[in-house]
Structure formats: structure tokens, C-alpha cells
Structure 1
Amino acid sequence: MEESKLAVPEYLDNAFFQEVLRNYLKRPDGNIDRIELSMGCGSGENFCSVIYRVRVQFSYDKSKCESATWIVKSMPYVGEYEVFEDMQLFKKESETYFKILPELDKFAQTNFGPSCYYVTSTPIDTIVFEDLKLRRLRQIDRFNAIDESHCAIVFSKLAKFHAASMHLAEKNPNIFDNFQIGMYSERNFQAEQNREFFLKKFQMAIKITERTAGYESIAKKMKVLEPTYIQRAWENFDSKKGLLKVLNHGDLWRNNLFFKYESDESNIPTECLFIDYQGCIYSGPGIDINYFLNTSVQIDILKGKRDYLLKECYYQTLRKTLEELSYKKVPTYSDVEADILNYEFFGLFSAIGSSINQLIHELSYAKFLEGLNDEKRFETCINLAPRAEKFRAKLEYVLRRADSLGLLDQ
């Protein structure tokens, strides 16, 4: 095996890729000739994992030489990531790819994610996938909110995903027993470093709101809410009130979506696939819906197209898919609407978190803390953010809506 000049982690050795190749080819006689490894995404773009893109050259059948590109995802639960171990991210993602998705794909007659070629927990939890870019699917800029055409595709696909999971649970009631914890666990919420980070983001939102004309009463409510904000977010996420149960993707935001387009030059999407199934949770569909709406959608779409997306794109697809699967008790739109409302506080938590995360990314965490702790530097720091105007507009809309729903009241 000839390796590239880029350093290959010790565990990603020839034996590892030989195993991947066997699964990829579905035959035992392949041989790895060369490995080229690079980082698969930028720093901070993937939750508690390390992503590599690997191009391999291989030979088989004595003389045939070919190449392939794979995505390798490793999850080292050490240091700051130890708090996530009890969430069983690797176990859930592995089970999703090898046990759940094949069933959902079959029921919905579509493809929900990339092909998975190999999984191992030795020495580090690692999964190997196909590279969706080779299928001419692409991601959008993680800092640009999604427009109506993309949202319509996402909600239609999400409805099929949820419907197929409902059918699977009807056929096998215990199939989702390992999916009771999602991206957030009680330990995750209670961990000191996480509580501090969540709280600082809420405090920054308060400071911005206090300086926004017409939002004085909302800012006061937020100050009163501050001591119980994190606990309320956890209790809402962990809510068992909903009557509907689906397999939620659990981390459905624009960075975990790949889109297919009419052509390489087109911006009109025709299909989407989901990636990163580590946060899947069997709970109400309001988790996925609120999270996506509050982290990924353009403000004008939230204001003017919310009902259209939920009724026409999501619910009508959900109903149609369930009817085609002969599901016994198809929920009404009122049932779905009630579940979405049930998780609205989690939606608020997600909106504030994603908005402030964008601010931190644009300013750096040091400048974020500087603005939070130094009144004189606050406005200067906030206005340094290239997307400051859009950031403020989103926060204002989210908080006004939250207030109208009574989410800020004690």
C-alpha cells in the first residue's frame, strides 16, 4: 500500500481499508494500492466527531484497477466529548444505517441517506459511508438560511421518513427501544460546561433584546426566565405529552442535508438526503419540525409560508404515505399541529442557540465573551458580525412569536 503524504491516523491502516473494500466490492479479492486522506469538513462543522474524506485506489480480479472515495466518521469520546457517551451516538447511528434505514427506504420507496460500507468500535467508534458528492449532491452554505423551494423538498422528505418509521413501529413495536435519548440528554444539559455555554448564549440574547426598541417587556420576561431557562428546555425536549411517535432525525438542520438539483448549474432542488443520524430519537415529530424551522429557514419563509410548509408539504405527504402503507390510524393535521406546539420551547432554545452560534462563529468566542462582559464593547462586537442585521431580525421574530405563545411566561 502506498499512502499519501498527509498523516493517516494509526487506526486507519491498510487492514481497516481492506475490510471496507470487501464490503464495498462485496467480494474478497480486492487489494488496496494507495490511500489519500484529507479532512472531510471544516473545524467545528460536525458534532463530537472527526470526518475524513478518503480516496483509495484498489485492484481486484488480478488486473482490474479502480478508485473510490469514502467518508470516514470517527467519534472519540475523550476530553470534552465524554459527556456525550451516554447518548449512545455511535450505537444509534450504526443501528440506523444497518437496521433501520433499509426498512424505511423500502417502505417509502426512496433513499434517505448515503450507503454505509463498514462500522467498527475498535479501537475508535468509526463508520464509513459513500461520498454523496460523487452522486452530484451538494450542501448549501451552513450560514445561509434555506429558501422556500429547499424547505418544500425537506418537509416532504421528512414526512416520508416519519411516516415510514410509524409503519415500522406498527409492525415491530420494540424496534426503537434503543432510541429513547436524542442529541440532548439530562447529563448533557446538566454538564457544567454545557450549562454555562447554553446560559451565556441566552444572556447574550437578553442583552441584544434589551437594546431593541419595542422589546423592553420581552427582555424583562427573559431576565425572569433566565434561572430556569435550561431546565425548561430540557423538560420540554424530554416531554412525553405527545400522542404521536416517530423516529426523529434529531439534528435536522441545513448542514445535515444534501440536495440534488435539476443540473449542476441549477439552484432548483429535486431531492434531498439526510446525513448524521447519530441524534435519532423516538418521540414526537415536533422535535424535528421545530428544530429545522428554528435553525435553518429564512425569516420571510417563517413569516409567510409556515402554514404552507406544514400543511401542504409535510402533513399531506405524511398522510398520503401512511395511507399507501395501510397505516391503521392516520393522524389528523390537528394531531400534528398539537405535537409541534408541544415542543415550541425546544424550538425557542434551538433558535437562540443557532443564532448565537452564528454570531460566535463570525466574531470568535473571545470577542463574544468580550461583548457579553463589557458594556462598552457590546455594540462594537455585535456590529462586527457580517450578518448582524439578519441575525437581529431573526432573533426579534423568534422572540416576538415566543412571547405571543406564552413561552416566556413563568
Structure 2
Amino acid sequence: MAEIETGVVPNGNVEHVNGEKKNVTEVTPDFFHVPTDPPEWLNREYLEKVFRDYEHDQTLHIFECEIVPATKPGDNFASIVFRAHLKYTSKKKTESLSVIIKVRPFLEGFRKDLLSSMPLFETEADMYTRIIPEIQRLLIQIDDKDVIAPNMIYYHNDPEIIIFEDIAPKGYVMRHKAMNFENTKKLILKLAKFHAASFYMYHEEKKELDEFKNGLVTTLAPIDFFQQGYMNVVKCIKEWPGFEEVAEKMEKVGPVFLKKLRKSYIANKPNNGYNVLNHGDFHIKNLLFRNDENDDIQDISFIDFQISVWCSPAIDLNYVLYVNASTETRDNHKNELLSIYHAKFCSVLEDLGCLKKPPSLLELHIEMLKNGFLEVLLAIQFMAMFFVDYENIDKADLGDMDKMLKILYNESAMRPVLEKLIVKFLHKGFFEV
């Protein structure tokens, strides 16, 4: 879960794993804090042991080690991410290496308490050790050289740490602006391959992908994280001229907000839709891009598989439309993109020799309609990542709930976009209780 969901700042009762309630009534700037120093145990000696085992060389010696933050404020919530620049000698040679290191939040406070019991690292490790390698094998089998994700180098559960290949030296970077149609098409084609391979694995190889049940909403089920965030936004919308009646309808959804969302994260039963393995948190900050000199995307790498979930493909597809694609792309090319996705999904299954009949394009549209309430969450609480740079917000404002809401929902360029979407959601019946 890379992005801190907008409007979903802790404010209300939080149920911890031990069953006790802790009332979080004040948001401090530390909530968004990115530690500059790693935990004490993450040092040269620790990494030297890791790479001795990885390289099968007990003579390997790291003689230079620099560990620095790999993310900006607001870019990562569920993990603390560092980049390690290493220089080492081994039997073979002297070499330089850069790796990405993820650890659980380790500073005392809300984030550490909140995430301590969630199976985020276990899910990601399972994806990298068992699922992604098989997806890559299947793609190679049909002469598709697309690489889904960076290689995982190391995982350990005590202390929890995952080390990945750093693909930044290969030209991959984060992207902070929404995508035009052509770039969104490249993203959705790669997603179709990922989904199709998982569909094949489940139906033809009998892989137990339905074990991936800890999606975004189900993982955070013990708390009112999203529900409280939704109500915070409704409070702002109440002040918009002409939106008083809509805000009243939205307010009535508050008590059942989480219940309505959960339906999308439960796998479809046979003869009532179909399922794929969703990335689960498929927004633009969980992707890395290699661009050309014209800023056109040449390749995309998926990262952060901490809440991958077996359920309707509408999860990832709505993420593509709301937190990857530009407003123009979503408004004018949604159906075309879904058609492109579906054609690639079916062609990959055909190339793999899948005996299970693929879902029709109509069935895909039914999935999108059935799970449409997810659009409300993504538009209201996620989409602001395109409109607000947390790094440029005064640190004191990050701890002021009212000030943050004003910045996000009254002063940013997101408001006119959101106004149109809320009217559309009203007409689709999303605010009916």
C-alpha cells in the first residue's frame, strides 16, 4: 500500500490486534514522517551476511554501504523503503550494487501499531516466491518476454524485511502525472497478461490462488480507516454550493460504506462472475516506468504486491481508470480500454492452451458494473495523488485535519473533477443505502 489514502487520516477509534480500542483524535506530522535512518539492525554486517548467502560466497565483503530513504512523504504508508548503495569484493570481482529494502514501520506510533498484525509482508513474499515466477514462466512459454516485476533477492520474517533488485539504474522511475490514452493502453495490456496467467494457473494448474483473501478492505477490516476518511470528505462536500442534497445522500452511506466496499473484495462464486489474481493496490505509485525522450512509456514494472487478492478483475481495472489514467482518458476511452484489455486477456489464454472458456466482453462489463462502488473510494480518497504533492505541503499542515481537507478538496484542481464524478455516481445509484 504505497499511497496514503487521501482523507483517510487517523481520526476516530482504532481497534488494535489485542482487541483494545485506542482513540486517535489528533493527527501529528509524524504520521507522514519518512525515517532518514534505517533500524539499527539494518547495517553493513547484516547485508553482508545476506549477500554471502545469496551469492554462495562466504568470502564476500561489503566495504562500502550507504542506506538512504527511497521514497518521499506520502509515497509509502505500509512499509518503510530504503535504497542501499553497496560496494563489495567477492571471489569473482569487485562490484557495485544498488538494492531496494522494505521493512515494517519501526518507529513507535500509529503506523507501527496499525500494521503490526497485517499479513502484508507474507503476502508479498508469497507473490514473489511462488506466483510471479510461475507467471513469468508461462509468458516465456508463449514467447512473451515481458517482465512483470523486479527480482526479489531476500525475504525474512523476523525481523521482517524484503530486498529487491533496484531497477532504477536500468532507467525505471516513478511517475507522478496521470497517463494519456496511449500510455494507459500499454499499462492495461500488461495487466491483461498478468490477470490471464493467473486465470490459467487457477483453472488449468489448480493453483490455490483463492488463498489470497487479504485485499485492501479485508486487510484493514478491524478499523474504520476508509469509512472515517469517506465521512471527512463528505464534510467538505457539504460546503460546496449546490451539493447540499447530494452530501446528505452520501452521509447516509457512511455507516454501510465498508460493507458496500467489502463486496468487491470477496471472490465471485461459480456461475456468478469470474475471478483473477489482482495486484490489489494498482495505482501509479506502485508502478515503475522506463520512458523515452518524449516521455512515452517503453516499459512498466509492477511493484508492491502486499494486498494482492483473488476476486473480480474490476479491482485492478478501476485502479487503472481512476489512479493511473488521466481524466480525459477515463472520460473518453473507458470502453475502448476495456475492450483492448479483454482481447489481450483472451489471446493470452488461447496461446497458453487454456481449456476453460474465457469470460466474454459483456461479462467483463457486468463485473465493472457490479463492483462500481469501488469507483467512489478511488475517486474520493485516492485520486488526489495526481493533484497534491505532499512534499510541498507545510509539515505543520499535515497534522491539521481541517487544513488538509481544505487543501485537498477545496483548493486543489481536483475539486471540479470530483464534482462531475459525484454527480455521475449519484445517477448510477452508488449513494443508495
Whether TM exceeds 0.5 here: the answer is yes
1:130-153 deviations in whole A, cap 9, x for unaligned? Answer: 111111111111xx2222222111
What is the rounded CA distance, in whole Å, between the counterparts of 1:28 and 1:59 in structure 2? Answer: 11
Asked if 1:221 is matched to 2:256, the reply is: no
Q: Tell me what 1:348 maps to.
A: 376
Aligned pairs (5 A) from 1:233-244: 233-238=261-266, 240=268, 243-244=273-274
Match of 2:309 in 1: 281
Supply the AA of the counterpart residue of 1:222.
Answer: M
Q: Which letter maps to 1:223?
A: E
- Where in structure 2 are the equivalents of 1:90-101 lying within 5 Å? 90-101=121-132
Query: Which structure has the higher relative contact order (CA within 8 Å, separation 6+)?
Result: 2
Q: CA deviation at 1:163?
A: 0.3
Where in structure 1 are there 5+ consecutive unaligned residues?
A: 1-5, 373-377
Distance 1:132 1:68, change over 3 A: same
2:228 paired with 1:199? yes
Q: Would the alpha carbon gap of residues 224 and 302 (structure 1) be closer, same or farther in structure 2, given more than 3 Å must change?
A: same
SS across alignment from 1:344: coil
The within-5 A match list for 1:140-159 is 140-141=175-176, 144-159=177-192
1:89 deviates by 0.9
Q: TM-score, normalised by structure 2?
A: 0.80
**Alignment of structure 1 residues 301-340 onto 2, 5 Å:** 301-312=329-340, 314-328=341-355, 329-340=357-368
SS of the residue corresponding to residue 73 of structure 1 reads: strand
Identity between Structure 1 and Structure 2 (%):
25
- Could you tell me which residue of structure 2 aligns to residue 375 of structure 1? none
2:97 to 68, 73, 90: 68
Summarize the alignment of residues 26-175 of structure 1 with structure 2, pairs less than 5 Å apart: 27-61=57-91, 64-76=93-105, 79-80=109-110, 81-108=112-139, 109=144, 110-122=146-158, 124-141=159-176, 144-175=177-208
Separation of aligned partners in 2, 1:46 and 1:71: 13
1:397 is aligned to: 420
* 1:191 partner SS: coil
What is the distance in 2 between the residues matched to 1:76 and 1:177? 28
> Cα distance, 1:155 vs. partner?
0.5
Conservation of the 8 A alpha-carbon contact between 2:322 and 2:383: no
How far off its partner does 1:158 sit?
0.5
Q: CA deviation at 1:166?
A: 0.9
Distance 2:360 2:304 in 1: 30
Using the alignment, how far apart are the partners of 1:100 and 1:179 within structure 2? 11
Residue type of the partner of 1:403? L
Q: CA RMSD in A?
A: 2.6
Q: How many equivalent pairs are there?
A: 383
Residue pair 1:290, 1:343 contacting (<8 A) in 2 also: no
Larger helix share, 1 or 2: 1
Q: Using the alignment, how far apart are the partners of 2:183 and 2:53 within structure 1?
A: 34
Query: What SS class does the counterpart of residue 184 from structure 1 fall into?
Result: helix
Bigger Cα displacement from structure 2, 243-252 vs 168-177: 168-177
